[in-house]
Amino acid sequence: MESTRNKLIQLLAANSEQYISGQLLSDQLKISRSAIWKHMKELEKDGYQIEGKSNKGYRIISYPDKLSENTVRWGLETDWIGKNIIHKESTTSTQHIAHDEARNGAAHGTIIIADEQTKGKGRMNRSWFSTKGKGMWLSIILRPEIAPQQAPQLTLLTATVLADVLQSYCNVKPLIKWPNDILLNNKKTAGILTEMQAEQDIINYIVIGIGLNVNQSTLELSEEIRHKATSLYIETEKENSINALIQEILMTFEKSYDQYIKNGFPDIKQKWESYGFKIGEEITIKTIKDHFHATFLGIEEDGALRIKRTDGSIQRLYSAEIDW
Ligand code: BT5
């Protein structure tokens, strides 16, 4: 059940342009005016800036930059994404929570965020380092009406969303390494993990996990990845608000996803290729049974990797690892 505190924040947030009287709050929340006053003092301790005027009432002026359901919801201008937000200070993996929630019927657009993950997941059982309070660890539950084979397109779509937001909001030049790495200065700053629960030709749900290194210094990146990973802070020497980044990413994601559902993959393909790392260059490809050099031509209309082998033949690959 929703706490009185959360209901109070929501009432204040819904009336942010005007004062809301102590009496009205007390009637709506069914608690005394002195209890309201105590809640306000608690909120101020947590970093909420609240203006109280004796004959008018209360108004929120600003939110703390701490991650919470309320701080992410405040100012989030979306139609369907992030209407349901689950926040954990610490969890094994936001993907685990997302699967549980999705199995229990969570709505399309539900998001899960955490300050810290103790067992962050990469692809193929690899791990994802998720330093407390220093990055964006986010999972999005989607229930798209597309064929299961199209699901990988959503990874590519998410990569373009991240690249767009980093470029416009943080003023950096990101590149996308197929299929799911976002690079700054040739080092990984974000990764995407798309997991799906589907039957033959119907998707029950998809969980898109996004890990973005935001405020880590080099020493705060695990030693194991320091040589090949980076963060926005390392690249720009500026701290960024994780809340604000989540909001930008969700708003851009919603727009891009809605367009994709309406118009299909071509626009995403074009955008992806504009950020594509090493397009036109030679790359080394590892598949389950093979390891070879090829020229990276771009991506196909369905999102597969398009390469030219040294014998001149053109191939499409759906799952492969790329070494550069
Ligand atoms: C990925 O896998 O890049 C997908 C990462 C998805 C993470 C998000 S966070 C929210 C959600 N909850 C989760 O538990 N996961 C998702 P992959 O392409 O397999 O890359 C994994 C490899 O990246 C590791 O083996 C390391 O080499 C490297 N790596 C691990 N942590 C990193 C980090 N914080 N920054 C950069 N590289 C990292």
Q: What is the ipTM score, two decimals?
A: 0.99
Q: How confident is the model at residue 2, as a pLDDT?
A: 58
Is residue 88 domain-shared with residue 141, that is, in the same domain? yes
Q: Say if residues 320 and 286 touch (Cβ distance below 8 Å).
A: yes
Is residue 309 domain-shared with residue 245, that is, in the same domain? no
Q: What global pTM score does this model have?
A: 0.89
pLDDT tens-digit series, residues 33-68: 999 999 999 888 888 899 988 889 999 888 887 898
Q: Pull the structure tokens for residue 282.
A: 């030679």
Instruction: Confirm or reject: Cβ of 139 under 6 Å from ligand 1.
Output: yes
Residues of the chain with pLDDT under 50: 1
Cβ-count burial of 2 within 10 angstroms (0-12 exposed, 13-18 middle, 19+ buried)?
Answer: exposed
**What does pLDDT average to over the chain?**
93
Percent of the chain past pLDDT 70, that is, above it, reads 99
Q: How far apart are the CA of 271 and the centre of ligand 1, in A?
A: 23
Instruction: Confirm or reject: Cβ of 179 under 6 Å from ligand 1.
Output: no
8 closest CA partner among 61, 59, 82: 59
Q: Say if residues 121 and 147 touch (Cβ distance below 8 Å).
A: no
When divided into structural domains, the chain yields a total of 3
Is residue 149 domain-shared with residue 256, that is, in the same domain? yes
CATH code of the domain containing 77 = 3.30.930.10
Q: How confident is the model at residue 298, as a pLDDT?
A: 94
Instruction: Confirm or reject: Cβ of 211 under 6 Å from ligand 1.
Output: yes
Determine the Cα–Cα distance for residues 8 and 259; give it in Å rounded to an integer: 36
Is residue 152 domain-shared with residue 300, that is, in the same domain? no
Is residue 107 domain-shared with residue 192, that is, in the same domain? yes
Residue nearest to atom 11 of ligand 1 (CA): 209
Residue nearest to atom 30 of ligand 1 (CA): 128
Is residue 122 domain-shared with residue 107, that is, in the same domain? yes
Determine the Cα–Cα distance for residues 65 and 71; give it in Å rounded to an integer: 7
pLDDT tens-digit series, residues 98-111: 999 999 999 999 99
CATH code of the domain containing 14 = 1.10.10.10
Q: Is 117 annotated as a binding residue?
A: yes
Determine the Cα–Cα distance for residues 130 and 89; give it in Å rounded to an integer: 12
Q: Pull the structure tokens for residue 72.
A: 């992410």
